[in-house]
Structure 1
Amino acid sequence: MAYLLLLLCLFVAACGGHSPAAPTAPVPTSTPPPRQVVIVSVDGLRPDALVQSGAPNIQSLAARGAYTWQARTIMPSNTLPSHVSMLTAYLPQAHGITWDDYLPARGRLTVPTLFTAVRAAGMRSAMVVGKSKFDYFKDTGAVDFYAVAQGGDDDVAGQAAAQARAGFNLMFVHLPEVDLTGHASNWMSASYLERVTHADQAVGRLVSSLPAWTTVIVTADHGGGSRANNHGSDDACDMTIPWVVTGPRTLRGYQLSTPVSTTDTAATAAWLLGVSLPPDVTGQPVTEAFGAGR
């Protein structure tokens, strides 16, 4: 009998009688969040107005990210040529838009833009603006959603927040009223500073609608006040702009030491999104804001 039991045990072992191994549970994988960048341009915003008005939302973004109050725009320091430089990384001598209104008969936007690079990478982009002169960007066909909001900063921020919920990789948001008030009441007037406070509130509402992984750049196209109710010169009042970037990869409360130009805005956004601008652009990514070169 003992011999038979031994044979039975050997037979079971030979036929794989060991208990089967427990199935291995699949290793959970996390999908990285999409790359998202929002550029907010507060038209005509002087950096010293942020200090005088308080601007708690923009100041909070600076405290959570990297910033400079000494960034520089281009000449001529006007809305359209400056924004073309901001969103292409080219100087006006290269992009050719030196006038300040939508005049397609005078010339088109022919250089590649940040939106062109985003489209080429299979990503989506949106623009919500407060002035129709930005139609130059719509005409390129590279922007997936384009809207000119007619109701001022609140309307712009509301439409932009809706687009944020719809999904995007790049969004450009233009708040027009600070500049309009500067032209009407002069830069640094009580009305101007009140409008800066209102724009800051619009920025706060927009940012609160964004996913936590979004990187936000807040800047301006120009300052103003070198001449009564105007801008456009090479005076420091007109040329100096704020530049703030905050997101999951930025340093916190870090004041930038390297000079920043408005052309660096497009280059930084492209770097964050992993898309390529042409090699001859002037702008460079502000990698210091993310700890590079420290």
Structure 2
Amino acid sequence: MSLIPAYAGGNPPHLNNVIIISIDALHPDALRQAKIPTLSKLMQSGAYTLDGRSTEPPKTLIAHTAMFTGMAPGENGKVDNDWITGEATVQKPTIFDSAQRNGFKTGYFYSKEKLGYLVNDAVDVHEWSRDSAIDSAGAFIKTPGRHFVFLHVSGLDQVGPESGWLSPAYIEELSYIDDYLSSLIELISVDKNYLIIVTSDHAGHGKIHGSHHPEDYRLPLVVCSDAVPINQYQNISFSVFDLKKMLGDLLQNDSS
């Protein structure tokens, strides 16, 4: 894999592909323990922090709604962790609205049905698939145009409650996810002018998550690009609320 170091100056080129990858239930310490050549190269070539924090409470749909809207649960209206197809969807502007205004085709691929809550009119293509979200994101990126993708990856959220966060089975699952992501990351990096963000919604401790334990709130942030400056995100304190503003700043840099 060839990843170009962070953009160093001058007029940045227009981003061809922006992809945000949320690895559900990813504990930041697992990035130090697992064999993850794909994610490690992103970390080495870009900027990262292991000092991220989830919402109150730290649960999947609540946290992702905060990511998408840049608002706390009390502000964005999503204070529970449940949704089924046919119910009302998000009413606040999301990261997809900003992407669409910036001329991107938008794709949203997720592995939990309840994340369909976040589909709005600014999402051009969306698909719920428990096992094929990564493949669907890759197929979308191969279509003509500039792409903005949010990809939700499941797996750790199942192994954590069964075997324990940071257990051998959990670390093995992260290595599997890393390997599965490798072809997608290669596709994006070969095309040049990319922005890749990897983060999560929450972590856990023992076999528990969603509680008030400090470990449950933890999450990482990895940012890598060959087209826009990203060094300012090294070792920052990061909240899921910050993602929307971060993307807005990076897209503004791209269009300036």
TM-score, normalised relative to structure 1: 0.75
CA offset at residue 78 of structure 1?
A: 0.5
Question: Hey, which of these two has a bigger chunk of strand by percent?
Answer: 2
Aligned to 1:45: 26
Amino acid at match of 2:81: D
Structure of greater Rg: 1
Asked whether the equivalents of residues 50 and 235 of structure 2 are also in contact (C-alpha less than 8 Å), the reply is: no
Q: Which residue of 1 aligns with 2:90?
A: 109
- In structure 2, C-alpha distance between the alignment counterparts of 1:187 and 1:247, rounded to whole Å: 30
Instruction: Map 1:87-126 to 2 at 5 A.
Output: 87-103=68-84, 108-126=89-107
Deviation at 1:182, TM superposition (A): 1.0
- Indicate if the aligned counterparts of 2:106 and 2:148 stay in contact, CA closer than 8 A: yes
SS of the equivalent of 1:181 reads helix
Give 2:18's aligned amino acid: V
Distance of 1:72 and 1:233 partners within structure 2: 13
| From 119, 124, 142, the counterpart of 1:144 | 124
Deviation at 1:236, TM superposition (A): 2.4
Code of the aligned partner of 2:45: R
CA contact (8 A) 2:48 2:235 kept: no
Segments of 5+ residues of structure 2 without an aligned counterpart are 1-12
Q: Which has the higher contact order (CA 8 A, sep 6+)?
A: 2
* Distance apart, 1:255 and its partner CA: 7.1
The answer (yes or no) to whether the contact 1:65–1:250 under 8 Å persists in 2 is: no
Partner of 2:137: 160
Structure 1: gaps (5+ residues):
1-31, 275-286, 288-294
Which residue does 1:215 correspond to in 2?
Answer: 195
TM-score if structure 2 supplies the norm length? 0.85
State how many pairs are aligned.
238
Contact 1:129-1:147 within 8 A present in 2 as well: yes
Q: Output one character per residue of 1:239-280: Cα deviation in whole Å (capped at 9) or x when no partner.
A: 11110000013456x872432111211211222223xxxxxx
8 Å contact kept, 2:18–2:147? yes
AA at the equivalent of 1:270: G
1:245 pairs with 2:223: yes
Please say if residues 37 and 272 of structure 1, whose CA atoms lie closer than 8 Å, have aligned partners that are also in contact: no
- The question of whether the paired residues in 1 share the 8 Å contact of 2:47 and 2:224 is answered with yes
Q: Distance in 2 between matches of 1:161 and 1:187?
A: 28
Q: State the distance in 1 between where 2:251 and 2:147 align.
A: 8
The SS at the match of 2:55 is: coil
